[in-house]
Amino acid sequence: MGSIEASVGTPIGATSAPDGVDRNYQSAGETKSGSATAKGNAVSASVKTTENDAPKRRRTSMLPLEVGTRVMCRWRDGKFHPVKVIERRKIHSVGSNDYEYYVHYTEFNRRLDEWVKLVQLDLDSVETVVDEKVEDKVTSLKMTRHQKRKIDEIHAEGHKELDAASLREHEEFTKVKNIATIELGRYEIETWYFSPFPPEYNDCLKLYFCEFCLNFMKRKEQLQRHMRKCDLKHPPGDEIYRSGTLSMFEVDGKKNKVYGQNLCYLAKLFLDHKTLYYDVDLFLFYVLCECDDRGCHMVGYFSKEKHSEESYNLACILILPPYQRKGYGKFLIAFSYELSKKEGKVGTPERPLSDLGLLSYRGYWTRVLLDILKKHKGNISIKELSDMTAIKAEDILATLQNLDLIQYRKGQHVICADPKVLDRHLKAAGRGGLEVDVSKLIWTPYKEQG
């Protein structure tokens, strides 16, 4: 394994994924597209041109483009969109002096950042003014060995040590996506974010994963050879839940260290800002699978600290892109609380939560709490609600306050549960997705395991 052992921390990107909210587009945006001929000229500027020489010279002299340059770029929809050049690299081919560019589409989510060829860029649209903020970033992007070492040290120490400046450096270091696609089982999946794979994988655009042990390889033939030898047909560890074709496996990061690390490398490809942990030993991974006669195929997972002082019952959650928008994220959130109930403890997701993560959780909390309030006769306290649901009292209070269901009367907080208001909130919270059938959960909490 490589030098960096990453595991997945905050449920930031993660909790947004389960709901399957499409984050591709920040805004549909008006697309400015130049004429086709202008593009053609820009592209073949060095080959042939029917134009006069001045614009040609201007265009050639700006090459290679500086990091920070803003320019229009032809996207996969065939239209031109504004981008910012984040990084550039020489194309390694004989006789070529060309660069390719890593660009961020300013209208789109960062996960659509990608490497593009010069032909996709409309050089006529280059904005010559590079704003200062970008230039600042450029300097830090070209990292010195000292900076690199500093980041490695930070990695080794854990993210607690990150001060604002180092965090910025860290972000610069991780923002260029390395692996563009992965093959996993029967899916080829486009990745969203950088993941700190060992350095020997730095030159890979595509990785091939064994869908069962999650070992990854550079070449398809290696994977095929591996699949003939690999005897796993499901995640290592105990199957703790089976209902229909759905199974949950509990994987102990200490007993299955390599699997835990592989899972983290894989997950980071789809999670943006997340904490890097170094010790998968400290975590349990709950891996959700769809099972058929070929084996149990991973759909997603959440991780959980074996011992949490802050009563976290979920560290990180991810549903793989091909399985999103099917209610699996809600299933995993509900499952994490069912485990807490069995432990006789209250739980809460690790902070910080992203906006969308908070939305997923608010939805779950609202559905669970208001269902109880609707059926309940007489008074009920936050403590009682917490005991019944394993939801932390603070989260209950925040949820009910957010719905304006808490009033202050005669010196104390009272839950006001007008049935009509409850129904309205329940409707707004949406459906709960796949139900966890508690009778199918056969599990001993970690502490009690031998």
Rounded to whole angstroms, the Cα distance separating 33 from 374 reads 55
Which candidate, 403, 343, 393, places its Cα nearest to that of 367? Answer: 403
Assess whether 350 carries a catalytic annotation: yes
Which lies closer to Zn ion via its Cβ, residue 257 or residue 440? 257
Which lies closer to Zn ion via its Cβ, residue 257 or residue 345? 257
Number of residues that bind Zn ion (CB under 5 A): 4
Please tell me whether residue 296 binds Zn ion under the rule CB under 5 A. Answer: no
Parallel, antiparallel, or unpaired: how do β-strands 348-349 and 312-314 relate?
Answer: parallel
The residue range among 45-53, 136-144, 227-235, 409-417 that interacts with Zn ion, by the rule CB under 5 A, is: 227-235
- Edge to edge, the sheet with strand 238-243 lists 238-243, 246-252, 283-292, 295-305, 316-319
In the complex, minimum distance from the CB of residue 437 to Zn ion, in angstroms, rounded to a whole number: 30
Phi/psi zone of residue 433: left (φ > 0), alpha (ψ -120 to 50 degrees), beta? left
- Asked if 198 and 179 count as a contact pair (C-beta separation under 8 A), the reply is no
> Other CB atoms closer than 10 Å to residue 376's CB: what's the count?
14
In the complex, minimum distance from the CB of residue 7 to Zn ion, in angstroms, rounded to a whole number: 20
Rounded to whole angstroms, the Cα distance separating 179 from 189 reads 11
Residue 413's DSSP bridge partners are 408
- Asked if 126 and 62 count as a contact pair (C-beta separation under 8 A), the reply is yes
Any idea which residue has 């290592």 for tokens?
Answer: 236
* Interface with Zn ion in residues 137-156 (CB under 5 A): none
The residue range among 45-53, 108-116, 204-212, 289-297 that interacts with Zn ion, by the rule CB under 5 A, is: 204-212
Sequence-separated (6 or more) residues with CB below 8 Å from residue 296? 212, 233, 234, 235, 247, 249, 289, 290
What is the chain's alpha carbon radius of gyration, rounded to the nearest angstrom?
Answer: 25
Which lies closer to Zn ion via its Cβ, residue 176 or residue 213? 213
- Pair of tokens at residue 424: 């309205």
Please tell me whether residue 441 binds Zn ion under the rule CB under 5 A. Answer: no
Please tell me whether residue 405 binds Zn ion under the rule CB under 5 A. Answer: no
Which lies closer to Zn ion via its Cβ, residue 73 or residue 210? 210
Of positions 43, 130, 180, 213, contacts Zn ion by CB under 5 A = 213
The residue range among 81-89, 209-217, 286-294, 326-334 that interacts with Zn ion, by the rule CB under 5 A, is: 209-217
Which lies closer to Zn ion via its Cβ, residue 1 or residue 428? 1
Q: Degrees (nearest 5) of the Cα angle 429, 431, 432?
A: 100
Rounded to whole angstroms, the Cα distance separating 444 from 223 reads 35
> Other CB atoms closer than 10 Å to residue 214's CB: what's the count?
23
The residue range among 107-115, 116-124, 212-220, 398-406 that interacts with Zn ion, by the rule CB under 5 A, is: 212-220
Please tell me whether residue 230 binds Zn ion under the rule CB under 5 A. Answer: yes
Please tell me whether residue 210 binds Zn ion under the rule CB under 5 A. Answer: yes
Of 172, 211, 305, 350, which residue is the catalytic one? 350
The residue range among 150-158, 216-224, 230-238, 258-266 that interacts with Zn ion, by the rule CB under 5 A, is: 230-238
Please tell me whether residue 396 binds Zn ion under the rule CB under 5 A. Answer: no
In the complex, minimum distance from the CB of residue 296 to Zn ion, in angstroms, rounded to a whole number: 13
Which lies closer to Zn ion via its Cβ, residue 222 or residue 243? 222
In the complex, minimum distance from the CB of residue 210 to Zn ion, in angstroms, rounded to a whole number: 3
Which lies closer to Zn ion via its Cβ, residue 213 or residue 417? 213
Helices (H) and strands (E) in the chain, counts: 13, 20
The residue range among 211-219, 302-310, 318-326, 362-370 that interacts with Zn ion, by the rule CB under 5 A, is: 211-219
In the complex, minimum distance from the CB of residue 215 to Zn ion, in angstroms, rounded to a whole number: 5
Please tell me whether residue 398 binds Zn ion under the rule CB under 5 A. Answer: no
Q: Return the H-helix or E-strand segment holding 90.
A: strand 80-90
The tally of CA atoms less than 13 A away on the side-chain side of residue 265 is: 27
In the complex, minimum distance from the CB of residue 226 to Zn ion, in angstroms, rounded to a whole number: 6
* Interface with Zn ion in residues 79-98 (CB under 5 A): none
In the complex, minimum distance from the CB of residue 294 to Zn ion, in angstroms, rounded to a whole number: 13
Which candidate, 243, 239, 387, places its Cα nearest to that of 328? Answer: 243
Which lies closer to Zn ion via its Cβ, residue 262 or residue 386? 262
**Active-site residue list:** 350
> Which residues would be at the binding site for Zn ion (CB under 5 A)?
210, 212-213, 230
